[in-house]
Amino acid sequence: MKRNFSRRAIVKRGLIAATLAPAYALLARTAGAAALTPLDPNDPTAKGLAFVTDATKVSSAANPTYKPGQKCGNCMQYLGKPSDATAGCGLFAGHSVPVGGWCKAYAPKQA
């Protein structure tokens, strides 16, 4: 069976696909973020990097690299936006970290 497609039909389908692609990407990103489990501070990797869920509670004596204002939300490993409550982290695959957390691997985002 031979199908003939008109130019109009091809353009119409292309425009529909172009408008649906961003919506699909947004839905996929939301679903992926929901699949992340919160990082347990007792996780061996988290303990090794002195991860805490609240950066304001970091002991400067125990962590001399910590500077006030450092938190997951402004770290380059944080995979979300600073406005996100939690997001993935490049160091802790499959887990989400809170925006206000901190660990020894903190590296400021480049502007």
Helix (H, G, I), strand (E, B) or coil at 1: coil
Of 3 and 81, the structure prediction assigns the larger pLDDT to 81
Bridge-partner residues for 88, per DSSP?
A: 96
98 vs 104: CA distance, rounded Å: 15
> What domains appear along the chain, each with residue ranges and CATH number?
7-98 (4.10.490.10)
**What pLDDT score does 27 carry?**
62
Closest Cα partner for 32 from 84, 106, 76?
A: 84
9 vs 12: CA distance, rounded Å: 5
Q: pLDDT tens digit string along 5-38? A: 788 888 888 777 777 777 766 666 555 555 789 9
Closest Cα partner for 72 from 48, 94, 49, 54?
A: 54
Q: pLDDT tens digit string along 58-103? A: 988 889 999 999 999 999 999 988 888 999 999 998 899 999 999 9
Of 52 and 16, the structure prediction assigns the larger pLDDT to 52
